[in-house]
Amino acid sequence: MRTKFRQEDGAAAVEFALIVGVLAMLLFGMLQFGVAFFQLQNLRAATREGARVGSVKGTVNDIKTSVQNASGIPNFGSSLTIYKQSPAGTYSAVATGTDRPCVALSGPVPLSVKANIDLSNNTLPAGLKDIFTVDIPLMPTISLRSAQVYGEFGCEN
């Protein structure tokens, strides 16, 4: 009778059943965070490419098109902003699509051009909003939407 009680048939299955939920949460959480991090790196590379285009006297429209082509995202809305840096070190937004951030209309030539994507902006495409919120069951939600993604290049004169 003692040998019957000491048998451990099925113990491994019960232990696996207890731990499989935690393993699944960790696995899918890592996958979701990996996708968000990949997209973040993709946007960083796209903004650098846009700033590079602006540094060789490209227009704001050229910069935005370059960022969209490099990222594969057709429209960023107002979440994509182009800035130029003055010799005093301050940044000012470049408003119109035909402006060239690295060309001085009057005064000294700007030092650099910066393409910036604001991930907290509500005009960001819905797919990107969802990617930057990592939601793992039984854990607090991790939001990457407070990040500022930008690329900056010095103006070629």
Token pair of 5, please?
């009680």
Q: Please check whether residue 79 is in contact with residue 121, taking contact to mean a CB–CB distance below 8 angstroms.
A: yes
The number of residues in the chain equals 157
Highest mean pLDDT among 3-17, 50-64, 91-105, 115-129: 50-64
Q: Please check whether residue 99 is in contact with residue 57, taking contact to mean a CB–CB distance below 8 angstroms.
A: no
Q: pLDDT tens for residues 67-124?
A: 999 998 888 888 899 999 988 889 999 878 888 888 877 778 889 999 999 988 888 8
Give me the pLDDT at residue 112, please. 92
Of 143, 116, 138, the residue nearest 128 (C-alpha): 143
User: Residue 139: which domain range?
Assistant: 2-154
* CA angle in degrees (0–180, nearest 5) for 46-105-56: 30
Number of domains in the chain: 1
2 confidence band (pLDDT: 50, 70, 90) = low
Token pair of 41, please?
């790196």
- Measured between its terminal Cα atoms, the distance across the chain in Å is 92
Q: Please check whether residue 91 is in contact with residue 85, taking contact to mean a CB–CB distance below 8 angstroms.
A: yes
